[in-house]
Structure 1
Amino acid sequence: MAGIPGIGSGIDINSIVGAMVNAEKAPKEAQLARLEKASTTKFSALGELKGALSAFQTAMKDLNSLALFEKRSATSTNASALTASASKTALAGSYQMTVERLASSSKVATAALASDFTAAADGKLTVKLGAADAGVEVDIASGDTLVQIRDKLNTALKDKGITANVINNPADGQSRLVLNAKETGAGKDISIETADAALAGLALDGSVQSTGNGAGYLQQAADAEFTVDGLALKSPSNTVDNAIPEVTLTLSGKTEADKPLTLTVDQDKSGVTANIKKFVDAYNKLIKTSNELTSVTRIGEDKPPVTGGLVGDATVRTLLGAVRNELVSPADQEGVRVLADLGITTQKDGTLKIDDTKLGKALTDNFDAVGTFFAGDTGLMSRVDKRIDGYIQTGGVLEQRMSGLQTTITGIDKQREDLTRRVAQMQARLFAQFNAMDSLVSRLNSTSDRLAQALGSLPGVVKQSS
C-alpha cells in the first residue's frame, strides 16, 4: 500500500521507496543490458563468420572436383549456326565447318476441299511416315466433317509425332487438311492412302510438291547437310552425335557462303578459371568479414571507438592462421606448387589477387598440374577444408559457441524476471515498513496532542500568548 505525504509523519514515502528500489534495481539492469548486448553482438558476429566460412567451403567444394578438370569445352565461332558439347574423352582439336542445310520434317496438305466437306461414306485412311512405314489406319465415319477427321487423325497419330489441323482460305471458302511430322530426315515424308473412293479427296503423296490447290508436300523431309574440314556429311537430325568422336553438334542455322565457322574442342579452361575466381572471391569475403569483425575504428577524440563483435577473439586468429598456412604450403609436385605459380598473390589487407595473364598461361601450359594442385585428397582444397570443417560442421566450434551464447541470452531473460519479482517484493516490504512507521508516528503525534491539551486545561497553568 502506498504512503500518503502529509498524513502521519508527513514523509513522501513514494519518493523514498522509489529511490531505494531504483538504487537496488538500476545497477543489475545495467549489468544485464551490457551482458545481453555483448552476447547478442558476439552471437551475430559468429553467425556472420560462419556464413562466410560456409560460402568459402562451398567454393572449395566446386574446385575440389577432378571431374571439373576432365571436362572439355566445344566453342563455335558462329553460335547462331552451330553449337556443340564434348565429353571428357573428346580429343582436343580445331575444325573448319559449314552448315549447308538444316534437317527438316515433312509438312503436307491435302487438295483443297469445300469448307463444308463431309465424308460420303465410311472408310479408312492409312497415314505413313516414309515409304517403309506400315502406317496407322484411321477409321472415318460417313458424315464426318474436316474438323472431326482432324481430331481423329490427331488421336490416332499422337504417338507417331504427327499432328493435323485445318487451314481455311477466306478468299475462296475452301479448306485443306495440313499434317506436320516431328521427325526429321530424308525419306520421312507423310503420305495418306485410302482404298475408299468417298475419301479419295484426302489422299496425298508426300514426296510430290503441292502446287496450286493440289495435294502434296509444303516442306519435304530432308537430311541436314554440313561439312567438317571440307568433308561433306549428312544427318537425319540437327543434333549430330559422333561426326567428331565424343562431340555432339547442334545445327541451328546455315552459314554464309565462303564463311566457314571454327569449332574448337579443348580442355574446359573457362570453367576452371570461373571456379578459381569463385574460390578467390569467397576467400576474400572471408578475410574482409574477419577484418570487420575484429577491427577497432576510432571515430573521434571525444567518442568511444567502434569495435567489431569478435575483437581479440582467439578463434578467428587460430582459424585464419591455419588457413593461411595451408595456402602458402607448397604442393609436392612439378609445374604448379604454390598459388603464386598461378598468378594468385596475397595483398596487404590479406586478400588474394589474380593475375589473369599468368593464370591463363598456367592453364595452357600445366592444365593437369593445376588440377592435381587444387583437387584430390592431397590437393589444396581438401587440406584447407580439413582446417575449417571442425569450425562449421554440425556441433563444431562455432555452433557450440553460438549455443552457449544463446543459453546466456536466454538466462538473461530469466534473470530479468527474477529481478522484477525481487524488486516487487522489496517494494512491497518497504511500503509496509514505511507505512507502519508512518502509522506509528501518526499515533504518537495524536497522543502528544491529547496530552498537551490535557495539561493545558489543568488549574494554575498559564498559557503563553503568541
Structure 2
Amino acid sequence: MATTINGYNSGLDIQTIVSSLVAAEKAPKEAQLSRLESATTAKITGIGQLKSAIADLQSVLKDLNKPELFEKWSATSSDSKLVSASASKDALAGSYKIEVSRLATSSKVATAAVSGGGEHSFASGGSLVISMGDEALPAIEVAAGATLKEIRDAINAQLKEQGVSANIVTDPKTNTSQLVLTSSKTGAGNDLTIQAFDADGNPGGDLAALDIPTYDAGNPAAGVSYISMAADAEFSIDGLALKSATNNVAGAIEGVTLNLVATTEAGKPVTLTVDRDKAGVTSTIKKFVDAYNKLMNTAATLTAVASVGEDKAPVTAALVGDASVRNLLTTARNELVKVSGDESDGIRILADLGITTQKDGTLKIDDSKLDRALNENFNSLTSFFTGDNGLMSRLDAKLDPYTKTDGVLEQRLSGLNKTISSVDDQREVLARRMQQLQARLLAQFNAMDALVGQLNQTSSRLAQSLASLPGLIKSDS
C-alpha cells in the first residue's frame, strides 16, 4: 500500500500523533503488568527469605536432637598452658589437682666428630643399625665411598616413619662434623644408639666412627654427645605420684586424656574440673533461640504494614495477609508450649529452662535460670529435646511440610513463577497488539492525508475553472 509523506497534505505530524495514541492505549495495561510483576517478584524474594530462615532453624533442631550432645563431657583446666585435657563420654564428674615435675622427653644424640665436614667419605662402606632402646630399626646400607651427607639423607628417607631424623652439625673452624639423630618417641628406655658393620657384616669398619653405644654414666663413649636422654613424664594427681612415657596421658583418670604442656611450680597445682559439657549444650540451646527468633523476625518483616500518613495508603510488605506464613507461625508457637513428659522429669516446657515467649513472638533466655536448670536437671534434657517425642523432632515435623520438595513454599514459588511467565506472555501479546494498532492508525491517517491532498487539488481546479468564466469580476477585498 502506498503511503504519503508524514502530514504533507494535512500539515499534521502523523508519526507523533500515532505514537502518542499507541502509548496512551498501552500505558494502562503496561502499568498493570508492571505492578503485578513487581508484587510477584517481591513475594518470590520474601518466600525465599522465609524458606532460608526455616532451613537455618531446622539445621539447629537437628543439632539439638542428637543424644550425643548431652553425653559429652568437658575437662576444664585452670591453666591450659601447663595442663590441658579432653574428656570422653566414659568420664565421671570430679575435680583434680595436677602437678607436673618433669615432661616426657625423647632421645637426641650426636656421633663423634669426623673431618672433612659433610663431604667426609667412608671408603669401605657397610651398614648402620640404629636402635631405639631395645628395638633395632631397619639397617641403613652404606655404599663404599658414601659421604656423611648421603648417610644423613638415607636415614631421613628410610627411618622417617619410625620417627627418627638426622642432621649434620659442622664446626666452621675445624671443618669437623657430627651426625645428629633425633627421635620423636618419648619415655625412658627409648634412647638412640648406632652400631656400625663392615661390608662383610662384622661389627666395625670405617663406619665405626659413627658408633653411639648405650650411655654409661661411669664410662661415656669418647666424643659422643648424649644431648637429650629419653625420659618419662613425672606428675601427680591429688598428690599421687605417677609416670607416663608420653606427655599425652590416657587412663590416669577414667575417660580423661591429659596433655602435659609444661612443668608446674612447686605447690601450685593446676585444677582440672571434669563435668558434663554444659557449655556446649548451652551454646546449642542459644543457637536454637537465635534461629527461632530469626524466623519470627523475618516473618514479621515480611508481613508488616507501615503507616506513612493520614492521606496516603499504608506501605505493606510482600507477604501481608499470606495464609502460609500465618499458619506456620501458629503451628510453631503451639508446639513450643506443649508439655513433654511428667512432673518427675524436671524439665517439661521451655519455661523450665528459663526460655519464655515475648509479646512479639520471639524467645528470651533467662541465663541464670538456664544455668540452674542445667545444673539441677541435666539428665532430663535428653528426653525433653531428643527422640521422636522430643521438642526438636516435633517442631521439625511441623516445619518440614513448608520446606520439603513439593512442600507448601515450593508450590507457592512454582505458582508465582508461573505468574511471572504469564506477565511475559501478556507483554508479548500487548506488543503485537500495539504493533497492529500502530499500523492501523498510520494507514488511517495516511488515507486521511491523501484525501486532504485530493480535496486540495479539486478545490484548486474548481477555483481555476471559476476564474476563467466570462464576466467574472474578481474582488480585491
TM-score (norm 2): 0.93
Pick from 353, 367, 374 the counterpart of residue 378 of structure 2: 367
**Worse overlay, 7-16 or 275-284:** 7-16
For 1:271 and 1:32, locate their aligned partners in 2 and report how far apart those are by CA, in whole Å: 53
Matched, 1:123 2:131: no
CA drift of 1:401 comes to 0.6
Matches for 1:184-199 after TM superposition, within 5 Å: 184-194=186-196, 195-199=203-207
CA drift of 1:73 comes to 1.1
Q: Partner of 2:266 in structure 1?
A: 257
Provide the secondary structure at the position in 2 that maps to 1:128: strand
Matched, 1:88 2:89: yes
Pick from 319, 326, 329 the counterpart of residue 317 of structure 1: 326
Q: Partner of 2:80 in structure 1?
A: 79
Provide the secondary structure at the position in 1 that maps to 2:321: coil
Amino acid at match of 1:202: L
CA drift of 1:274 comes to 0.4
Show CA shifts across 1:148-177 (max 9, x none): 111122223223221111111224322110
Distance 1:291 1:3, change over 3 A: farther
Q: Partner of 2:228 in structure 1?
A: 219
Q: Partner of 2:145 in structure 1?
A: 143
Contact 2:7 2:449 in 1 (8 A): no
Distance 1:64 1:324, change over 3 A: same
Q: Partner of 1:106 in structure 2?
A: 107
For 2:352 and 2:5, locate their aligned partners in 1 and report how far apart those are by CA, in whole Å: 86
Contact 2:101 2:235 in 1 (8 A): yes
Show CA shifts across 1:115-152 (max 9, x none): 1522132222111111x223332222332221111112
Distance 1:138 1:212, change over 3 A: closer
Matched, 1:382 2:393: yes
For 1:374 and 1:138, locate their aligned partners in 2 and report how far apart those are by CA, in whole Å: 61
For 2:349 and 2:174, locate their aligned partners in 1 and report how far apart those are by CA, in whole Å: 80
Amino acid at match of 1:201: A
Q: Partner of 1:270 in structure 2?
A: 279
Matches for 1:282-293 after TM superposition, within 5 Å: 282-293=291-302
Contact 1:3 1:13 in 2 (8 A): no
Q: Which runs of 5+ in 2 are unaligned?
A: 197-202
Provide the secondary structure at the position in 1 that maps to 2:346: coil
Matches for 1:316-335 after TM superposition, within 5 Å: 316-333=325-342, 334-335=345-346
For 2:4 and 2:110, locate their aligned partners in 1 and report how far apart those are by CA, in whole Å: 106
Amino acid at match of 2:94: G
Say what the alpha-carbon RMSD is for the aligned residues. Answer: 2.0
Amino acid at match of 1:165: N
Matched, 1:426 2:428: no
Aligned residues: 465
For 1:2 and 1:393, locate their aligned partners in 2 and report how far apart those are by CA, in whole Å: 62
For 2:421 and 2:263, locate their aligned partners in 1 and report how far apart those are by CA, in whole Å: 70
CA drift of 1:325 comes to 0.5
CA drift of 1:205 comes to 2.4
For 1:402 and 1:305, locate their aligned partners in 2 and report how far apart those are by CA, in whole Å: 26
Amino acid at match of 2:353: L
Provide the secondary structure at the position in 1 that maps to 2:212: coil
Amino acid at match of 1:264: T
Matched, 1:39 2:47: no
Distance 1:382 1:3, change over 3 A: farther
Contact 1:59 1:279 in 2 (8 A): yes
Amino acid at match of 1:317: R
Provide the secondary structure at the position in 2 that maps to 1:20: helix
Contact 2:97 2:269 in 1 (8 A): yes
Q: Which runs of 5+ in 1 are unaligned?
A: none
Show CA shifts across 1:258-298 (max 9, x none): 11112222111111100000000111111111111111122
For 1:140 and 1:196, locate their aligned partners in 2 and report how far apart those are by CA, in whole Å: 13
For 2:454 and 2:4, locate their aligned partners in 1 and report how far apart those are by CA, in whole Å: 15
Amino acid at match of 1:203: D
Contact 2:81 2:261 in 1 (8 A): yes
CA drift of 1:415 comes to 1.8
Provide the secondary structure at the position in 1 that maps to 2:159: helix
Provide the secondary structure at the position in 2 that maps to 1:263: strand
Show CA shifts across 1:210-247 (max 9, x none): 99982132111111112122221111122222111222
Distance 1:416 1:111, change over 3 A: same
Show CA shifts across 1:362-400 (max 9, x none): 011100112211111101111111111100112111111
CA drift of 1:2 comes to 7.8
Matched, 1:15 2:16: yes
For 2:458 and 2:16, locate their aligned partners in 1 and report how far apart those are by CA, in whole Å: 27
Amino acid at match of 2:379: D
Q: Partner of 2:210 in structure 1?
A: 202
Amino acid at match of 1:319: L
For 2:232 and 2:357, locate their aligned partners in 1 and report how far apart those are by CA, in whole Å: 57
CA drift of 1:192 comes to 0.4
Distance 1:287 1:2, change over 3 A: farther
For 2:78 and 2:307, locate their aligned partners in 1 and report how far apart those are by CA, in whole Å: 56
Contact 1:208 1:216 in 2 (8 A): no
Amino acid at match of 1:279: F
For 1:455 and 1:133, locate their aligned partners in 2 and report how far apart those are by CA, in whole Å: 139
Provide the secondary structure at the position in 2 that maps to 1:45: helix
Pick from 344, 347, 355 the counterpart of residue 358 of structure 2: 347
Q: Partner of 2:177 in structure 1?
A: 175
**Worse overlay, 164-173 or 337-346:** 164-173
Contact 1:2 1:13 in 2 (8 A): no
Provide the secondary structure at the position in 1 that maps to 2:454: helix
CA drift of 1:88 comes to 1.2
Distance 1:125 1:328, change over 3 A: same
